[in-house]
């Protein structure tokens, strides 16, 4: 039987890819690994990849010479939770504050783990939390 071992990639959508690039590389320090003007920008995120697509461009059917990736997209803000060690959440809050990023919510769940929520320039909800949030190994 095939076993799923994790999330390899997650996708968000943004009309302004340059603003997304500034947030994810400039504020969060995620390395950019691929980009196509007007269509997408991709970032390394630990052992996974965060994909940010322009929603209108990602809904287009691929041309005959392109890879056969089916069209996709979303309307409205999405959500992603980025894994941060519990001991580093204070430093993340400071980084966000120093970059002028408003923290929308910073709290502890009833079972103890902490989550910090902000919005990226496209309005997507970006959460920072430790693996313990879901009972995973640190």
What confidence tens digit (pLDDT) does each residue in 24-42 have?
Answer: 999 999 999 999 999 999 9
Q: Give yes or no for a contact between 126 and 99, defined as CB atoms under 8 angstroms apart.
A: no
pLDDT digits (tens, 9 = 90+) for 73-113: 888 899 999 999 999 999 999 999 999 999 999 999 999 99
Pick among 3.30.70.330, 3.30.1180.20, 3.40.50.10860, 3.10.180.10: CATH of 9-59+77-134 = 3.10.180.10
Q: pTM for the full model?
A: 0.92
Q: Where are the domains of the chain?
A: 9-59+77-134
């Amino acid at each position: 039987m095939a076993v799923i071992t994790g999330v390899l990639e997650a996708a968000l959508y943004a009309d302004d890819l340059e603003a997304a690039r500034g947030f994810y590389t400039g504020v969060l320090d995620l390395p950019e690994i691929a980009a196509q003007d007007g269509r997408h920008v991709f970032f390394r995120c630990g052992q996974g990849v965060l994909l940010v697509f322009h929603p209108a461009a990602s809904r287009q059917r691929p041309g005959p010479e392109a890879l056969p990736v089916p069209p996709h997209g979303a309307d409205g803000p999405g959500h992603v939770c980025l894994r941060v060690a519990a001991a580093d959440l204070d430093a993340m809050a400071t980084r966000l504050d120093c970059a002028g990023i408003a923290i929308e919510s910073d709290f502890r769940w009833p079972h103890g783990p902490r989550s910090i929520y902000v919005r990226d320039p496209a309005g997507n909800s970006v959460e920072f939390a430790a693996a313990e949030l879901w009972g995973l190994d640190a």
